[in-house]
Amino acid sequence: MIEIQHVSKWYGQFQVLKDCTTRVDKGEVVVVCGPSGSGKSTLIKTVNALESIQQGKILLGDISVHDPKTDQAALRSRVGMVFQNFELFPHLSVLDNLMLAPQKVLNRSESEAKAKALAYLDRVGLAAHSHKFPSQLSGGQQQRVAIARALCMDPQAMLFDEPTSALDPEMVGEVLEVMVGLAHDGMTMMVVTHEMGFARQVSDRVIFMDAGAILEDCTTTEFFGNPAARAERTQVFLSKVMGHQTA
Amino acid sequence: MNQAMNLDLSFYTWGLFHDFILKGLLFSLTLTLVASVGGTFFGTGLALMRRSSVAWMRITAATYVNVMRSVPLVMVILWFYLLVPFLIGKPIGAEWSAFITFTAFEAAYFSEIVRSGLQSVGVGQTNAAKALGLSHTQALRYVVLPQAFRNMVPVLLTQTIALFQDTSLVYAIGAYDLLKGFETAGKNYGRPIEVYMMAALVYFVICFALSRAVKAMTKERVGAA
């Protein structure tokens, strides 16, 4: 589904991605973790070409994402993305946030777009809030709307860029719950997150990044079950993150 | 005789307003409307050009804006009025000349307002729009510009008030605006001081009312947010 092949990226002299290679198969949930500044958010944004790359290749299905001949807008319409800061459109109601792209990009009729929007709002438990504006919702509610907005496009895969990092702790659960539901429904997901509980519970594979490179890429069982076999850098990160989570 | 000590206000009548002032007032208001709408339109174009990835577009727009902002408006008005007939071989009326010059001049100022309005919308919004499959143009039209304009309305209106005051500069090419109306009336009645007093009052009332309206509007929005 998503194939990342020897991808490198530089900001001027500084290399932010170093020869990254991995893949996310159809129906697979892959968690990308690592310390801040490790390049994980940059990596996930190269998948739908919000960030450019200087070397390597990314395939979505059989389409080369960064090929100049690729229609990137059409390609992005088939991959949902959820951002750390929700990025709902503040001048539009919740319903209009969900109906904009299906109408303008997929040329769906208003009634069709509205029916789908209401169905997904119901799924994330926010059907009663359709007429509100984003500023009237809590962070957790906004992020659930953002997930519903992405789902309205019937994406083939979903990218999550630290979806719970900007949330108050008591709101993390409601967002993770929606994501777990998606995973159980067989959605292909690439998730940048520090939520190790989520990773352990639903992901099939875990990728650990540090300083722009992929240090670990293994099954979830292996990642958490056999810490001694992990690189030293991974062990340090894990002990910090896990310690924080049990505390 | 000291004229200032012997003000005669007896000619402040409907006839004065109707015969001399109304025509000028309408022209000044029309000019303000045309130049602010046209200036916003072309100013948005200039602002978008300055964000373009094409170098010549950026440079052309930046040069235009910087040149326009570095010369006095009255000079642009005069140049245009005097040079264009020379170039096209026939005279251009003072009214048309004013409409075109003011629009062109204000476009430069409005473009700076639009530019900062665009900057006030975070790059995350563009990314979110793009991630949904919206094209560059669609992202601008449905996501970025509506938010940018909402943020800039108070500044746009303030600039429009300044523009209304600046319309008096068309005296340089003899167009019949609000100030010219008063001046003509003053000559007609032989009472320039009284007439200019009234002119000042009228400009003040219009501009003060508009600026209060802007203030109320801003306050309302802050309250709503």
Please give the domain boundaries of chain B with CATH numbers for all domains.
9-224 (1.10.3720.10)
Q: Does B142 touch chain A (CB under 8 A)?
A: yes
| A120 in Cβ contact with A185 (< 8 Å) | no
Considering only CB atoms, which chain A residues are within 8 Å of B151? none
Q: Does A153 touch chain B (CB under 8 A)?
A: yes
Considering only CB atoms, which chain A residues are within 8 Å of B138? 104-105
Q: How would you classify residue A61: left for phi > 0, otherwise alpha for psi between -120 and 50, otherwise beta?
A: left
Q: What is the token pair recorded at B137? A: 């143009």
Query: Is the CB of B130 less than 8 angstroms away from the CB of A50?
Result: yes
pLDDT tens digits along B82-133: 888 888 888 888 889 999 999 999 999 999 999 999 999 999 999 999 999 9
Percent helix, strand and coil across chain B, each to the nearest 5: 85, 0, 15
Q: How high is the pLDDT of residue A247?
A: 37
Instruction: Assess whether pLDDT exceeds 70 at residue A15.
Output: yes
Query: Is the CB of A85 less than 8 angstroms away from the CB of B146?
Result: no
Query: Is the CB of A76 less than 8 angstroms away from the CB of B150?
Result: no
Residue in A closest to B149 by C-alpha: A91
Query: Is the CB of A104 less than 8 angstroms away from the CB of B124?
Result: no
| A108 in Cβ contact with A140 (< 8 Å) | no
Query: Is the CB of A153 less than 8 angstroms away from the CB of B125?
Result: no
Task: Give me the mean pLDDT over the A44-61 stretch.
Answer: 94
Query: Is the CB of B127 less than 8 angstroms away from the CB of A153?
Result: no
In which band, very low, low, confident or very high, does the pLDDT at B186 lie, cut at 50, 70 and 90? confident
Q: Does A136 touch chain B (CB under 8 A)?
A: no
| Among B88, B206, B127, CA closest to A73 | B127
Task: Give me the mean pLDDT over the A65-85 stretch.
Answer: 94
| A8 in Cβ contact with A54 (< 8 Å) | yes
Query: Is the CB of B150 less than 8 angstroms away from the CB of A87?
Result: no
Q: Does A85 touch chain B (CB under 8 A)?
A: yes
pLDDT tens digits along A130-186: 999 999 999 999 999 999 999 999 999 999 999 999 999 899 999 999 999 999 999
Q: How high is the pLDDT of residue B39?
A: 95
Residue in A closest to B122 by C-alpha: A87
Pairing of strands A79-82, A63-64: unpaired
Residue in A closest to B147 by C-alpha: A91
Quick one: CA torsion of A58, A59, A64, A70, rounded to 10 degrees?
-100
| A21 in Cβ contact with A65 (< 8 Å) | no
Instruction: Assess whether pLDDT exceeds 60 at residue B2.
Output: no
What's the per-residue H, E or C state across B132-153? CCCCHHHHHHHHHHHHHHHHHH
Task: Give me the mean pLDDT over the B195-209 stretch.
Answer: 91
Q: What is the token pair recorded at B94? A: 């003072």
What does the DSSP 8-state code read for residue B194? Answer: H
Instruction: Assess whether pLDDT exceeds 50 at residue A69.
Output: yes
Considering only CB atoms, which chain B residues are within 8 Å of A48? 131
Percent helix, strand and coil across chain A, each to the nearest 5: 40, 25, 35
Instruction: Assess whether pLDDT exceeds 80 at residue B3.
Output: no
Considering only CB atoms, which chain A residues are within 8 Å of B132? 76-77, 100-101, 105, 149-150, 153
Q: How high is the pLDDT of residue A246?
A: 46
Pairing of strands A205-210, A188-192: unpaired
Phi then psi for residue A42, to 5 deg, are -65, -45
Average pLDDT over all residues of chain A: 93
Residue in A closest to B143 by C-alpha: A89
Number of other CB atoms surrounding residue B199 within 10 Å? 22
Q: Is 0.85 exceeded by the ipTM?
A: yes
Considering only CB atoms, which chain B residues are within 8 Å of A166? none
